[in-house]
Chain A
């Protein structure tokens, strides 16, 4: 089966610092990856689509200068939360599609901004 890893699994940082989260497809290549945010007891909210070799596509209401996305290779996408604030505390999950449809999710990164 398809495996997607995510690192780190959890991070605690001070307000104003930046945090980088990595998403890797371990056994398949993904020209597209997706980044989601999930608040407690809520659904997965798509933040942006990461495109290898081109700029990410952001959903309405998501600040592209705050959530920097880089799709460095066919197996790696990174999400950097810049100048993090407590309201950015959330569960961030990436996914990569296999055969262009079936989404396989990473284990998620729990971010706590103090």
Chain B
């Protein structure tokens, strides 16, 4: 089965700076890697995802990169804003692997 590790567990940045969160996965058969944002007491919301046939995907201030050889993927948030403060989860799975979540990163953007 899949095992996903996520770092760092907490991240504090100044408004306008960039934030990077990294995840590694164990099963090379996994081919789908979503990122979720969860605000306190709310459901996780999908913010971006990437499949194993591409190396990078971007959506406005958010980008995800995937290195299949090294089995790691990263979330990049540029020009951070206070409303980006939340817990971010990476996940990996697909191709008959159940989706497994990383431990989460608590991002704080200071105004």
Contact = CB atoms under 8 A, between A and B. Distances in A.
A44 B34 contact: no
A67 interface: no
B43 A44 contact: no
B63 interface: no
A93 interface: yes
A102 B89 contact: no
Given A43-B89, A44-B89, A104 B102 contact: no
Which of the four size classes fits the interface of chain A?
10 to 19
A93 B43 contact: yes
Which of the four size classes fits the interface of chain B?
20 to 34
A103 interface: yes
B40 to A, nearest CB: 10
Interface in B25-69: 32, 34, 36, 41-46, 49
A101 interface: yes
Interface of A: 34, 41-44, 46, 49, 93, 100-108, 110
18 contacts: A42-B104, A43-B101, A43-B102, A43-B103, A44-B89, A44-B101, A46-B100, A93-B43, A93-B44, A101-B32, A103-B34, A103-B46, A104-B46, A105-B43, A105-B44, A106-B43, A107-B43, A108-B43
